[in-house]
Chain A
Amino acid sequence: MSDTQMANPKNQLLDASDITDSKLEDLMGRMMSRQVDRGELYFQSFRNESWALEEGMVKDAGFSVSRGVGARAISGEKSGFAYADDIRPEVLEQTTSAAKSIARQGSGKVAHVEATRDVPMFYGTSDPITSVSQDDKVALLSRIDRFARSLDPRVKEVSVRIAATHESVFIYSSDGISNGDVRPLVRFSVSVIAEQNGRREQGMSGGGGRHDLKWLFEGENAEDFAREAVRQALVNLDAIDAPAGPLQVVLGPGWPGVLLHEAVGHGLEGDFNRKGTSAFSNRIGQQVASPLCTIVDDATIPNRRGSLSMDDEGTPGQKTVLIEDGVLKGYMHDKLNSALMGTSSTGNGRRESYAHQPMPRMTNTFMLAGESDPEEIIKSVDFGVYAVAFGGGQVDITSGQFVFSATEAYLIENGKKSSPIRGATLIGNGPEIMTRVSMVGNDLELDRGVGVCGKEGQGVPVGVGQPTLKVDEITVGGTST
């Protein structure tokens, strides 16, 4: 990851449009002329390619490009925002002028905008779309289709998808930021349907990260996803009705960390806490979880799906301790909310694209390993549920209530994993559930890189993770009473 790779996003985004440094200074000066606290220009280009196989055929593939600029003027709690899908000087003038119409008063300082600063980079910059040939992508899809079908005659349908994106951003703002980032992202997924005695069940698996597509061709990486999807579908063919009501629940390592994302992550985002509308508001320094829980948000793990060398406001990616030994340590911040709360950004200011405004968002959020042997955790449960795969979750930050939906789960009877159970939603109250974490495993895993987090209509890639853990009581939404 040399400097020559780093220098490109600005040139790539601006040179073709004849936007010079002096033009940027001039635009920023004008945006600040009606005395806003901070002005910001966000230039972005985004290229995506995806290939899909179903019914044994590579039927469908698409390529998309978007490119544009978002201008934001901030005055206290107020934001003016405008964007354009066109990076030309005259469009930029109109866009900045629209954005600044929000502010009629403010401090109006323009900091000295520095030249590009070096920030540590947590991923490479090369284009994943061209990292392997089209022939190889098509061949891989077909190979994985045949492989999945070969694993078991009960496999009836196989869908395989490869997606790769290459994103470049350049941020120029009145508080001294002039910096760019190049972000690769790939995702591979396999979905199968298995049939037995007329019953059909689905299994899914996938992964990826901020790297290129060669990873899929290393060892049996791609085959492993197919094995996992087939295994899950076959398990579900034997699933019985899930129990209904409050139960002890053991959550497996990795992707079940979606629990933390919903139960505490969103509630610790700075915007809700500045406004006092989170179930975790005004609780810094308090015990909000069992002493076994230490939870971090970490943008700095190399090549992870949620990692960021810098966020969408130019703040370097960092590791933030949210909860340490059960005590609430800090929130995740963007610039606007941290300034209003008298603190600084934690590098969590993210946006879906130039056409969306940044807000505090998670990166990779996970619980650190504890000391229990995962086997011992299961053994400690007389009757409960062991959930190892989830579809997704949702939270109401204000009440603290959250759900997440299991796609692979088992009963635990007399300390042993027994029958698989049908998909069920689990529901709880974040602050309450975290105090009921009674055992934490020594087997921390991060998810394999499939998460998309949605907030106010904006989707961003994130990572989650956790060791095996036991929650003493959570409501299981089955049908068997």
Chain B
Amino acid sequence: MASLIDFANPTRFMRLSGTLLPWMTGAAMLLLALGFYLAWFVAPADYQQGETIRIMFVHVPAAWLALMFYTMMAVSGLGTLVWRHPLADVAQKAAAPIGACFALICLLTGAFWGKPMWGTYWVWDARLTSVLVLFLIYLGIIALWRALDDSARAGRAVAILTLVGFVNVPIIKFSVDWWNTLHQPASVFRAGGPTIHPSMLWPLLILALGFTLLGLGLHLVAMRAEIMRRRVRTLTILEAERLDRLAAQALPV
């Protein structure tokens, strides 16, 4: 816990994230390049899906990351409400657009896969609908951040909304087990091991790791921008106060 509190210092965070970022970016680029090479030129076409299996290599990591970023936001929400961690609402605010983008990629690529495989872009299936709800919650959180000027109030309101919305995460995960869905059940993280052939599983896992590092790198950059935005706001207020004082001194009484 002591290290978490140490890391809460924005100056220390800026220094540490500045050191980490080039390494994360480099590793993400390497993994994505290797993953896409394997996914496009080594992995075979699926015996049933044919070449549309290539869509899975971006659809599945996007789905995982949409859930991962929401889970990170829920932990940050706890950090804001329970521990009043100084960087918790910064992390929460920075994560929302990234998670929303991955949820949108998941929905769009799923629709583009669904049309040739299921014969339709969309069905009101439990998995698809719950991911759509996740995307809408992301949009609501982003809108709430923009609606409130006071970042401390906005942080608390968003933390409550995020924690309430977290109920959707296990629903998404288990929707394919709890209900009869057109969407196939889990084929990677399941009891009994993955059902995907290693020639397709490895590119998928490498791409998932590459997208994860890319997303986390973007999260760090967005957090740095948010810390600077708050510093700019504070300094602007101090500057205005200083100018007021100077103006008052210049005026004859």
- Is the pairing of A and B real? no
The interface of chain A, by Cβ under 8 A from chain B, is: none
